Structure 1
Amino acid sequence: MLYWLMKHILLGPILRLFFQPKIIEGAENIPKEGGAILASNHLAVSDSFFLPLMLSRRVTFPAKIEYFTGTGLKGKLQKWFFSGVGQVPIDRSSASAAQGALDTGVRIVREGKLLGIYPEGTRSPDGRLYKGKVGVAWIALESGAPVIPVAMFGTDKANPIGSKMWKPYPIRIKIGKPLDFSRYEGLSGDRFVLRSITDEIMYSLMELSGQEYVDVYAAKAKEQSTAVPEQGKAADRVPETKAS
């Protein structure tokens, strides 16, 4: 009920008015029933709002548990909001918690639902497409569900990283053909198979989105970008020495 209210009465009409989102290609690739994995590029937080808005079926996205554990009025409103837009809390603070997140993904798909997932693991820091994590492949093999690539366009302009206010900008979505990995059934424990599947998914996303691909994890790229200024500061503190 809350999801329906958010989509059709509260948030949905506002998003449609200011951003005019459209599926410009591939709407027919979303199955009318049954479980499937929607693997999307990740440009902005708003990706998780616009994709469900444009589909008739509910999409469930894993979200960090901090969105659901806040205290006070703000915490309650935040939990209500993220629950309302179809997100479920995921704890990724440890190895066991990460496995729990993957198990939750499998459960969602086995229940015949649509699972939204970002193989990059975090938002792209610069609009390029980064190396995918193998969790999406593991969920696909364990659930037996197809993986449907999804490319978002314009969400990084409407909702730039670090911005507190969204700006009106046309949002466009492309949905690719389902990818079937049943040929790898029973091989979810093979890391080489998982990497091969993940790379195939990322290649499909690259073709669909037109983004430049970077064979580095997005989280690593973010770490490196913040480390460079610090290294520069350290270098500035090294005293110069005269040549002998």
Structure 2
Amino acid sequence: MRRLLDCFYAPYAALVLVLLIPPVCLAVILGPTLALRRETGRLAVRLMLLCIGVPLRVRGLQHLPAGSNLVVCNHASYLDGIVLTAVLPRHYSFVVQDGAGRWPLVGQCLSRMGVVFVNRSDSRAGAAATRSLMRKLHAGEALTVFAEGTFEDEAGLLPFKLGAFLMAARCGAPVVPAAIRGSRRLYGGGRKLPRWQPLEIHIAPPLHPEAGDHRTVAVRLRERVREQVLRLCGEPDRDAAEALEQAA
């Protein structure tokens, strides 16, 4: 029955998304203020999920602190960013790889929503982006980061990059562990078409950086946050699995 459902659902959901995404992007791009553009994006994502029949359950919103903080989430699908857009308050800015900024129409939409693009292959550009992000944290803004930096077809949580945690340590900003469940099956695993799957987002209480050397604090904070994200996401630990393979 599940396979039969997927056969009918996949083309329907794909058609709905193809029809809705362009006008949504245009509505966001034409919005006169950042607040309005972000609110348009939030409502549009919820509308799209409703139209394709995907339930969205959120737990732990009360854990989001006021003021400067970083939400660190697992990454399993191209949908993760837009799903979090529908859930997090509109004052959160998203940090994504700069390649997304070159996507036709979608890239301009992301830019107009205040997404911060980071080029990890260019050390100078990456350093400039980091300084810009730290200024945002010092100014009391909130950021959302996918600390794995990418996602793969195979299920499992990848190692976390250190950058977000160094920023948190230097700025004294709390880090909020979060996890998305269901997005890999909905539109991941290398598939060309979506499959029906409910979505869940779990948000844990914030973790605060300790006092001490920034790099040492960042490494410890990364470990603590990753433990929480691993517990919440329900996927295997790819970092531990790869370490065992190398040892064998």
> What is the TM-score of this pair, normalised by structure 1?
0.75
Q: Report the Cα offset of residue 134 of structure 1.
A: 1.0
Q: Report the Cα offset of residue 207 of structure 1.
A: 1.9
Q: Report the Cα offset of residue 21 of structure 1.
A: 1.1
Contact (CA 8 Å) 1:49, 1:85: kept in 2 or not? no
Cα separation, 1, equivalents of 2:91 and 2:194: 24
Q: Report the Cα offset of residue 121 of structure 1.
A: 1.5
Among residues 14, 17, 41, which one is paired with 2:48 in the alignment? 14
Is 1:162 matched with 2:197?
A: no
Q: Unaligned 5+ residue runs, structure 2?
A: 1-35, 243-248
Superposition CA RMSD, Å:
2.6
Q: Which residue is equivalent to 1:205?
A: 229
Q: 1:130-154 deviations in whole A, cap 9, x for unaligned?
A: 2211112101112211000001100
Cα separation, 2, equivalents of 1:68 and 1:209: 27
Cα separation, 2, equivalents of 1:12 and 1:174: 17
Q: Unaligned 5+ residue runs, structure 1?
A: 219-244
Amino acid at match of 1:204: Q
Cα separation, 1, equivalents of 2:233 and 2:203: 10
Contact (CA 8 Å) 2:96, 2:146: kept in 1 or not? no
Q: Which has the higher helix share?
A: 2
Share of identical aligned residues, percent?
A: 23
Extract structure 1 runs of 4+ deviating beyond 4 A: none
Cα separation, 1, equivalents of 2:39 and 2:188: 27
Amino acid at match of 2:211: Y
Alignment of 1:63-142 (within 5 A): 63-69=96-102, 74=104, 77-142=105-170
Residue 226 of structure 2 aligns to a residue whose secondary structure is: helix
Q: Which residue is equivalent to 1:150?
A: 178
Cα separation, 1, equivalents of 2:134 and 2:157: 25
Cα separation, 1, equivalents of 2:172 and 2:178: 19
Alignment of 1:1-80 (within 5 A): 1-8=36-43, 10-18=44-52, 19-23=54-58, 25-31=59-65, 33-69=66-102, 74=104, 77-80=105-108
Name which one, 1 or 2, has greater alpha-carbon Rg: 1
